[in-house]
């Protein structure tokens, strides 16, 4: 039983008890025939007494359609029957359609309605509509203690986070190996200040691919880079392998380019949260429900989705602007174009 149904049952029981109490008032009134004395004895106001007396003395229509004397002592529902600020059925259908098409939250639906359809409604109203339509599942979670944290502020190039995502590829090579699919690797870099992303697909996950990716990152961004932050994977460092004492090729290439190579604490992916979040976006918007059978097609999809992410996809944290436009407006970037030619697609 839901909380709403339980509340309605409690209200019905409470109202029936109040109706019995009101009947007692009029039993006392039949004995005394003095309204002031009844009000004094029962502890109610005269206006309240006469309101219910008027309800009780209503003349029935005589056609069996009236209420019994007991039902007349039940309070009417005070719930309004109409809401002048309710959304029209057309707006509700539009909200539901956008939600099902994009799978995004109330904030994104609000932006699409305002920007594309010129429909001005509130984010809260959209959220309540989605709840009523059963399109939002409320998660139960424990309330966390409030901890004040001020995120550090960066300029473009101050910190670029890099990571690797596994991607399934069901091509002819996988068939020859007797497998349903094989893994290829999406190297991703994200500038923390602007949110501009670069990603490339590689067939191997090793130091050679990492160095090649770093070279492309250097040519792709329209501003100089100071820090590259990665996890402790063997494609970026030998930190977790004490048997190897020489410098990793990726770290060496960072020094040649004048970058500092930061390593996050082991088993702590939250330190690379920005690039990890973009991997989730790629999984939800690019890879989920799709099967790739050609490495060339995967490269083309990678380029198309990369352009869309940087130049068109609105982001709430950036005032519903795409990353490139946000960087141009906030940081006055002098070079306003990204070098997609490094992908060679």
Query: Whole-structure pTM over 0.95, yes or no?
Result: no
pLDDT above 70: percentage of residues in the chain: 97
pLDDT at site 5? 85
pLDDT at site 63? 53
- Rounded (5°) CA angle 47-76-73: 60
Average pLDDT over residues 151-167: 95
Average pLDDT over residues 180-198: 97
Total H helices, total E strands in the chain: 13, 5
pLDDT at site 281? 96
Q: Is the Cβ–Cβ distance between 200 and 187 less than 8 Å?
A: yes
Integer Cα distance of 73 and 27 in angstroms? 13
Q: Is the Cβ–Cβ distance between 335 and 321 less than 8 Å?
A: no
Average of per-residue pLDDT values in the chain = 92
- Quick one: the chain helix, strand, coil %, rounded to 5? 50, 10, 40
More confident residue, 79 or 182: 182
Tell how strand 182-191 and strand 160-169 pair up: antiparallel
Return all residues near 190 (Cβ < 8 A) that are at least 6 apart: 160, 161, 162, 196, 197, 198, 274, 275, 278
Q: What residues form DSSP beta bridges with 25? A: none
pLDDT at site 83? 87
pLDDT at site 149? 73
Return all residues near 321 (Cβ < 8 A) that are at least 6 apart: 314, 315, 329
Q: Residue 324: is its pLDDT beyond 50?
A: yes
Q: What pLDDT band is residue 143 in, cutting at 50, 70 and 90?
A: confident
More confident residue, 65 or 251: 251
- Domain spans in the chain, listed from the N-terminal domain onward: 3-72, 89-132, 160-343
DSSP 8-state symbol, 286: I
Q: How far is CA 167 from CA 23, 145, 342, in A?
A: 74, 37, 21
Q: Residue 186: is its pLDDT beyond 90?
A: yes
Task: Give residue-wise pLDDT tens across range 109-142.
Answer: 999 999 999 999 999 999 999 999 999 887 777 7
Task: Give residue-wise pLDDT tens across range 290-299.
Answer: 999 999 999 9
pLDDT at site 61? 47
Q: Is the Cβ–Cβ distance between 49 and 35 less than 8 Å?
A: yes
Return all residues near 101 (Cβ < 8 A) that are at least 6 apart: none
Task: Give residue-wise pLDDT tens across range 34-80.
Answer: 999 999 999 999 999 999 999 888 776 445 455 777 788 888 777 88
Phi and psi, residue 202, nearest 5°: -130, 150
pLDDT above 90: percentage of residues in the chain: 76
pLDDT at site 72? 85
Pick among 3.40.640.10, 3.40.720.10, 3.40.50.2300, 3.30.420.10: CATH of 160-343: 3.30.420.10
Return all residues near 14 (Cβ < 8 A) that are at least 6 apart: none
Q: Residue 90: is its pLDDT beyond 70?
A: yes
More confident residue, 140 or 170: 170
Listing DSSP states for 299-333 in one string gives HHHHHHHHHHHHHT--BGGGTTB-HHHHHHHHH--
């Amino acid at each position: 039983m839901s909380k709403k149904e339980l509340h309605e049952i409690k209200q019905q029981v409470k109202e029936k008890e109040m109706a019995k109490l009101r009947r007692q008032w009029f039993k006392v009134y039949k004995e005394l025939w003095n309204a002031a004395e009844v009000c004094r004895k029962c502890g109610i106001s005269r206006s309240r007494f006469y309101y219910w007396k008027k309800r009780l003395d209503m003349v029935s229509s005589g056609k069996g359609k009236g209420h019994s004397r007991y039902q007349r002592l039940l309070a009417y529902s005070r719930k309004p029957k109409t809401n002048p600020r309710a959304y029209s059925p057309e707006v509700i259908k539009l909200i539901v359609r956008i939600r099902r098409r994009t799978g995004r939250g109330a904030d994104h639906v609000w932006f699409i309605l305002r920007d594309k359809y010129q429909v001005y409604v509130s984010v809260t109203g959209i959220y309540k509509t989605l709840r009523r339509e059963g399109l939002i599942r409320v998660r139960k979670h424990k309330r966390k203690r409030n901890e004040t944290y001020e995120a550090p502020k960066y300029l473009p190039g101050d910190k670029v986070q890099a990571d690797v995502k596994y991607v399934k590829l069901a091509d002819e090579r996988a068939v020859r190996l007797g497998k349903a699919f094989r893994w290829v690797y999406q190297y991703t870099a994200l500038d923390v200040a602007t949110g501009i992303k670069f990603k490339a697909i590689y067939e191997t996950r090793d130091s050679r691919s990492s160095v090649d990716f770093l070279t492309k990152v250097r040519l792709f961004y329209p501003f100089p880079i100071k820090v590259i932050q990665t996890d402790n994977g063997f494609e970026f460092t030998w930190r977790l392998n004490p048997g190897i004492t020489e410098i990793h090729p990726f770290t060496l290439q960072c020094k040649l380019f004048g970058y500092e190579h930061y390593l996050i604490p082991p088993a702590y992916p939250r330190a690379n949260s920005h690039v990890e979040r973009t991997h989730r976006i790629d999984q939800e918007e690019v890879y989920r429900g799709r099967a790739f059978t050609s490495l060339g097609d995967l490269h083309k999809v990678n380029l198309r989705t990369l352009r869309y992410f940087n130049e068109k996809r609105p982001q709430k944290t950036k005032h519903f602007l795409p990353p490139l436009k946000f960087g141009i407006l906030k940081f006055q970037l002098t070079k306003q174009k990204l070098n997609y030619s490094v992908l060679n697609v």
